[in-house]
């Protein structure tokens, strides 16, 4: 058990190193930050000076080495555009993204599990079919279109919800939360819903498939034979068994969720990491881009570790196999 955790931690470290190398090397080719930093009327010598100052003239290995050395000390450099430490900039934006993704994941799970169970149990009914088809519409439209349509209806036409931002924030240490105020909850509703849609469709289908699978197993047949009620069979046994794959998939979807958050955050001007990332892409703010990818990698590793541990908790059989 402990050995297993240590092994996963080491694997996580390797993954982080790989992510670091990939993001750093890809980003070194992204474009010339000097061109976006200085206006067109800046003289050439000023450009050369800045290039030297940013270390852009050093060979790749030197830059990667320096980057790793500093990254290990928690220093990811200064943002080119805002002249502020990247770690600080990311830390400022982290709460917004975490709150958005967590609320949307919870929203997706809370809605998807009952829908998945319903469509599995009442497989041939019109209601189930309608639900299955309707859920597909959610993944058949790009997130940004769904987002702006929500704004059109709920902000512009009805005037119920704010069209952008996080609403009123409460500061707890370095963390800022919008979940402590009504305006914060109003603000998060639309972004979280549009982000949840994709997850919801996948999760619901997964729950349905796993339920159907589960209901066929001998274990369930046996439970039925023992005379347990349908209700008990469905929820105590079949549903419980579906949770393992569902938890896994949700863990694996973290990367996708964060990637789609870039789109959602852009549409709703949600001040999170995704918005920061897309802005830094357009200004070629290399330190911010690298840091974003590193943080996404870290979140991914941590969530997967948590999923691993959760596994052990949900499914005792794994103790033996590991």
Partner 1 sequence: MNRKVLLGTAAAALSIAMGGHAHAAKFVYASQGDPRTLDPHAMNEQLTLSIQTQIYDTLVGRGKSLELVPSLATSWENVGGATWRFTLRQGVKFHEGQDFTAEDVAFSIERGKPGSQFRAFLAHITDVQVVDDHTIDVTTAEVDPLLPGKLSTLNIMDRDWAVEHDSQSVSDIGADAEEIHATRHANGTGPYRLQLREPGIRTELVRNDDWWGENPGNVTEATYLQITSAPTRVAALLSGEVDLIMDAPLQDLPRIESSPDLKVLQGPEIRTLLIGMDQHREQPLHAFDADGNPLAANPFKDLRVRQAVAHAINVDVLIDRVLRGNGVPAGIVSIPGLNGYDSELDRRPAFDLDRARALMSEAGWGGGFRIGFLCPNNRYVNDTEVCRAIAAQLAQIEIEAEVDSVPRNVYFSRLLEIDTSFYIIGLTASAYDTFDLLQSNLMTREPPDGQVNFGRWSNAEYDAAVDALKSEIDPAKRQDLYRRAITLARDDLADLRLYHQAINWAMKSNVDATLRSDNFVHLKWITVN
Partner 2 sequence: MSELASTSGGVGPRSVWQSDFVHRFRTSPVAVLSALVCVLFFAGALLAPWIAPTNPYDLKTLNLLDSRLPPAWMPEGDVRYLLGTDNQGAGVLSSILFGARVSLLVGFASVILSMIIGVALGLVSGYFGGRTDAVIMRMADVQLTFPAILVALLLGGIADAALPEHTRASFSILILILAIGVSNWVQFARTVRGSTLVQKNREYVLAARMMGLSDLRIMYRHILPNVMGPVLVIATIGLAFAVITEATLSFLGVGVPITEPSLGMLIRFGYDYLFSGEWWTVVFPSGALVVLALAVNLLGDWLRDMLDPGLR
Q: Is 317 among the residues that bind partner 1 (CB under 8 A)?
A: no
The HSE-up count of residue 205 (CA atoms within 13 Å, CB side) is 14
Pick 181 or 224: Cβ nearer partner 2: 224
Pick 178 or 191: Cβ nearer partner 2: 191
Q: Single out the segment in contact with partner 1 by CB under 8 A; choices: 27-35, 194-202, 211-219, 226-234.
A: 27-35
Binding mask 147-186 for partner 1 (x = CB under 8 A): -x--xx--xx--x--xxxx--x------------------
Q: Distance between alpha carbon 45 and the CA centroid of its chain, in Å?
A: 43
Pick 17 or 156: Cβ nearer partner 1: 156
Q: Is 322 among the residues that bind partner 2 (CB under 8 A)?
A: no
CB 274 within 8 A of CB 258: yes
CB 307 within 8 A of CB 247: yes
Structure tokens at 209: 């498939």
Give 175's strand partners.
172
Q: CA geometry: angle at 308 spanning 217 and 257, to 5°?
A: 95
Pick 89 or 115: Cβ nearer partner 1: 89
Q: Is 43 among the residues that bind partner 1 (CB under 8 A)?
A: yes
Q: Is 142 among the residues that bind partner 2 (CB under 8 A)?
A: yes
Q: Is 273 among the residues that bind partner 1 (CB under 8 A)?
A: no
Pick 90 or 239: Cβ nearer partner 1: 90
> Could you tell me which residues come within 8 angstroms of residue 103 by beta carbon, excluding any fewer than 6 positions away?
179, 188, 192
Q: Is 140 among the residues that bind partner 1 (CB under 8 A)?
A: no
Segment 224 to 283, residues that bind partner 2, using CB under 8 A: 252, 255-256, 258-260, 262-263, 266, 278, 281-282
Tokens 């969530």 appear where?
Answer: 303
Which of 117, 141, 143, 144 has its CA nearest to residue 131?
117
Q: Is 27 among the residues that bind partner 2 (CB under 8 A)?
A: yes
Q: Is 130 among the residues that bind partner 1 (CB under 8 A)?
A: no
Q: Single out the segment in contact with partner 2 by CB under 8 A; choices: 90-98, 162-170, 186-194, 289-297.
A: 289-297
Q: Single out the segment in contact with partner 2 by CB under 8 A; choices: 87-95, 212-220, 236-244, 306-314.
A: 212-220
What is the gyration radius of the CA atoms in the chain, in angstroms?
Answer: 24
Positions in the binding site for partner 2 (CB under 8 A): 11, 14-15, 18-19, 22-23, 26-27, 29-32, 129, 132-133, 136-137, 139-145, 148, 152, 156, 212-213, 216, 252, 255-256, 258-260, 262-263, 266, 278, 281-282, 293, 296-297, 300, 304
């Amino acid at each position: 058990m402990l050995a297993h955790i240590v092994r996963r931690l080491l694997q996580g470290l390797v993954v982080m190193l790989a992510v670091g190398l990939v993001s750093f090397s890809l980003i070194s080719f992204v474009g010339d930050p000097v061109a976006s930093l200085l206006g067109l009327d800046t003289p050439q010598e000023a450009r050369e000076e800045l290039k030297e100052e940013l270390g852009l003239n050093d060979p790749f290995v030197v830059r990667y080495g320096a980057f790793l050395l500093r990254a290990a000390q928690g220093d990811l450099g200064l943002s080119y555009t805002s002249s502020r430490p990247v770690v600080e900039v990311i830390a400022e934006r982290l709460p917004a993204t975490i709150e958005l993704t967590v609320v949307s994941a919870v929203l997706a799970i809370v809605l998807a599990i009952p829908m998945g169970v319903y469509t599995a149990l009442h497989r041939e009914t019109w209601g189930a079919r309608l639900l299955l088809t309707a859920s597909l519409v959610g993944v058949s439209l790009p997130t940004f279109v769904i987002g702006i349509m929500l704004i059109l209806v709920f902000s512009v036409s009805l005037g119920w919800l704010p069209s952008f931002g996080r609403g009123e924030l409460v500061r707890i240490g370095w963390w800022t939360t919008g979940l402590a105020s009504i305006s914060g909850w109003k603000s998060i509703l639309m972004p979280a819903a549009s982000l949840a849609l994709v997850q919801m469709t996948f999760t619901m289908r997964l729950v349905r498939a796993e339920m159907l699978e589960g209901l066929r197993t001998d274990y369930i047949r046996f439970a039925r034979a023992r005379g347990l009620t349908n209700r008990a069979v469905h929820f105590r046994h079949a549903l419980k068994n579906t949770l393992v794959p569902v938890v896994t998939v949700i863990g694996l979807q973290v990367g996708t969720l964060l990637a789609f958050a870039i789109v959602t955050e852009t549409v709703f001007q949600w001040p999170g990491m995704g918005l920061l990332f897309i802005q830094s892409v357009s200004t070629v703010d290399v330190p911010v881009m690298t840091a974003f990818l590193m943080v996404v990698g870290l979140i991914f590793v941590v969530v997967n570790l948590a999923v691993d541990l959760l596994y052990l908790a949900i499914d005792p059989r794994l103790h033996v196999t590991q």
